[in-house]
Amino acid sequence: MPHAVCIPFPAQGHINPMLNLAKLLHYKGFHITFVHTEFNYKRILLESSDHESLNSSSSFRFETIPDGLISSDALASTTQDLTELCVSTQKNLSAPFRSLLDRIDQSTDDENIPAVSCIVSDGFMSFTIDAAEQLGIPHTDFTT
């Protein structure tokens, strides 16, 4: 089974199109790991029952990484400053994303999770290209 790791830029106008693409890939037989920032995951969980139905599937998983800006315990109605988010994304998400890929790689044997076949990222998440190249994983990006 192919395994796509999907990571949008952490803003609503980017998350929804990436989630739609991830759902389509899942429907076509892909195992999906959808990566949120901790802040957005908590906020979206409060707004959407769709995540619950997807998360109940063993082949569609949500993972989180810190965005480096705001505590994940922040109020869900709090919005993030877009300028700070852009800077923080490029500065702070690379190492946690790479750690997540390493964790997925280590869990492939233990949890029946297929090895990562490709990374699908938002065009604003350029650090994902470096991670993909370092690990020899095919990568594609798009801008919504």
Structure tokens at 115: 């090895």
Signed CA dihedral, 119, 84, 63, 57: sign only: negative
Contact at 8 Å (CB) between 15 and 45? no
Name the stretches of the chain with pLDDT < 70: 44-56, 69-82, 109-110, 143-144
Q: How far is CA 64 from CA 1, 72, 80, 93, 126, in A?
A: 23, 10, 17, 11, 18
User: Can 81 be counted among the known catalytic residues?
Assistant: no
In this predicted structure, what is the pLDDT of residue 75?
44
β partners of residue 30: none
- Which pLDDT belongs to residue 90? 76
* Catalytic annotation present for 14: yes
Of 3, 14, 26, 31, the active-site residue reads: 14
pTM, whole model, 2 decimals?
A: 0.83
What are the residue ranges spanned by the domains of the chain? Answer: 3-142
| Structure tokens belonging to residue 66 | 């810190």
Rg (CA), the chain: 14
CATH fold of 3-142 reads: Rossmann fold (3.40.50)
Q: Which pLDDT does position 81 carry in this prediction?
A: 66
pLDDT for 76 = 45
Write down the pLDDT at residue 23: 94
Residues 31, 105, 122, 141: which is the catalytic one? 122
